[in-house]
Structure 1
Amino acid sequence: MATTSAIEWTEVTWNPTTGCDRVSAGCDNCYAMTLAKRLKAMGQARYQADGDPRTSGPGFDLTLHPESLEAPYHWRKPRIVFVNSMSDLFHARVPVDYLRQVFKVMWDNPQHTFQMLTKRSLRLRRLSPELDWPPNLWMGVTVESAEHVSRIDDLRRTGATVRFLSCEPLIGPLPGINLDQIDWLIAGGESGAHARPIEKGWVDEIRDSCLDQQVAFFFKQWGGRTPKANGRLLDGRTWNEMPELAAG
């Protein structure tokens, strides 16, 4: 099963797992945790297991959904697919064998472009040699502040063909960011009732680093009460750059 996405840099979401746990400040206002609570109240079967209240929440316990693995085989047209918008596939409780199954699905469907994000970059790096990396997978890490730039080094040491950064929610500056071996960078402000402010200077610096280091730059949003509250324009234009898609 896939769900059409409102996320500007993808087309559909596909969740072979759901649920997660907080690992850093970027998780503090997690949209997925809030959504899982709502889906649990609506009776959605995939969101009935509650996570640890200290790190997770109602309906957000890490759960495998092997029945979802068949979905990409049935999509007729090529799609850009965000894998695990409601989870983190490199969560410690996701078995390596299950990771391999997800990777096989991507190998078997080269017409699609799969995008995957994690904050658990250490496990990503350690498991990389045990995984058969499909060329149509874009692997990314979240870097919400300078405190977590080490995740970029972990990403560089993986077997991913396309590597990208999600600097969203951007909650601090990233001065002098090294984008060696990085193909794409997404930046954006936080949204929601408790959105933390973003400063234009932080975005300008990141954008300029991408231009200097020839990295595709995508500015998703300024954020605010809602994702679209303050628009997407940066210096009078939208920034929608992306790597080359998988062959359809």
Structure 2
Amino acid sequence: MAENSAISWCRHTWNPWMGCTKISPACDGCYAEALIDKRLGKAQWGNNPRVRTGKHTWNDPYRWQRQAEKDGDRPFVFCASLADIFDNQVDPQWRADAFDVMRKTPNLVYLLLTKRPQNIAKLSASAGGLPANAAIGATVEDQKRADINVPALIDASLDLWQAKTRPLFNFLSCEPLLGPIDLTDFPFDPFSKGNAGYRIDTLRGKVFLPLGSNDLTPGHVVGEREYVGLCHGIQWVITGGETDQGGHAARPTHPDWLKGLRDQCAASRVPFHHKQNGEYLPEDWFDKDGFQWQAGTDCPKVHRFKDGTACIRVGKKQSGRKLDGVVYDAFPKIYPISAKGCAE
């Protein structure tokens, strides 16, 4: 699913502007900065003016729309792969213009991935409302960022629904994955003091209480949890290891971090997509993935985690996309556009 993009989870990338400011550890090895700022010099990263792209780029979605109409297709478009669509340092009119393009190309599914989910609802409202063919997503690279960005994404989803501009779905990009993440247990922001103690499982889209602490209506018990209500949740999870970018050397990803998210998604029936392993491959995956280190070559770099797990630097191309010998390529289900121009 990469006609015009090397990114496995989209077919097209569209950049209405370029440039951004780093705000989290996931930004340390920013590929957009390495390409656009350091190599091509088209936009400066940091607190510098963003650069709006030209007419040809702004016309691309209309061409993709015509092809999608002909094919009866709904391709995924990663919007602002060289920027952040919800960057509050961008001219608000640019976002309004971009949203207008999205509304005029309904066959395209726009993936609005941001490291600033706290801005989604407010900036969408100021741009005329979130387009009906847009999904909202947040980058979470470790538990610390997940604890900040996942609840913010869920809050944004609720706010958008209340504004009658609901997203197609909510998703997470756990790339580069820099630590273990549990997506099934976040504090619930209580509407009243009496709701204290409630937790949110964002993959199941449910509110729960620890088993034995619910004195009200009986809920559905799973393990040590009693699920007692519904909430907004996550409908798609993407993972990936880090790659080298310019002078930034990739940090290895522990295989258990990847498998943990895969297993959480499987238990909750949430589509899981593993994009890449990055520059490193776990030592014990070699035989499983059909990769063998060639005798006589230079000794590879080895990173050993505290638990003894060894990851060997083999390069992005050779590490591939397999996780435990399997390619995980799932996507959320999107309904086709009917003859009347509405999703069926």
TM-score under structure 1 normalisation?
0.85
Q: How does 1:145-156 map to 2 (within 5 A)?
A: 145-149=142-146, 150-156=148-154
The DSSP-based 3-state class of the residue aligned with 2:170 is strand
Aligned length: 233
Kindly indicate whether the alpha-carbon contact (under 8 Å) linking 1:162 and 1:182 is maintained by their aligned counterparts in 2: yes
Partner of 2:255: 200
Tell me whether 1:136 sits opposite 2:126 in the alignment: no
Q: How does 1:81-160 map to 2 (within 5 A)?
A: 81-130=77-126, 131-149=128-146, 150-156=148-154, 157-158=156-157, 159=160, 160=167
Tell me whether 1:183 sits opposite 2:235 in the alignment: yes
Which protein has greater RCO, CA pairs closer than 8 Å, 6+ apart? 1
Kindly indicate whether the alpha-carbon contact (under 8 Å) linking 1:111 and 1:246 is maintained by their aligned counterparts in 2: no
Cα offset, 1:153, TM superposition: 1.5
Cα offset, 1:110, TM superposition: 0.9
TM-score under structure 2 normalisation?
0.63
Partner of 2:8: 8
Percent of counterpart pairs with the same letter?
36
**Distance change (3 Å), C-alpha of 1:245 and 1:235:** same
The DSSP-based 3-state class of the residue aligned with 1:127 is helix
Kindly indicate whether the alpha-carbon contact (under 8 Å) linking 1:136 and 1:246 is maintained by their aligned counterparts in 2: no
- Measure, in 2, the Cα distance between the counterparts of 1:117 and 1:38: 24
**What is the aligned counterpart of 1:70 among 51, 59, 65?**
59
Kindly indicate whether the alpha-carbon contact (under 8 Å) linking 2:33 and 2:45 is maintained by their aligned counterparts in 1: no
The DSSP-based 3-state class of the residue aligned with 2:317 is coil
**Distance change (3 Å), C-alpha of 1:107 and 1:226:** farther
| Residues 206-231 of structure 1: per-residue CA shift (max 9 Å, x gap) | 11111122211001111007433311
Cα offset, 1:170, TM superposition: 0.2
Cα offset, 1:176, TM superposition: 4.9
Instruction: Decide which structure has the larger Cα Rg and report it.
Output: 2
Cα offset, 1:171, TM superposition: 0.4
- Measure, in 2, the Cα distance between the counterparts of 1:12 and 1:226: 25
Aligned residues: CA RMSD: 2.1
The DSSP-based 3-state class of the residue aligned with 1:109 is coil
Kindly indicate whether the alpha-carbon contact (under 8 Å) linking 1:90 and 1:120 is maintained by their aligned counterparts in 2: yes
**What is the aligned counterpart of 1:232 among 318, 321, 330?**
321
Cα offset, 1:205, TM superposition: 1.0
Gap regions ≥5 residues in structure 2:
69-74, 161-166, 185-201, 206-232, 280-313, 338-344
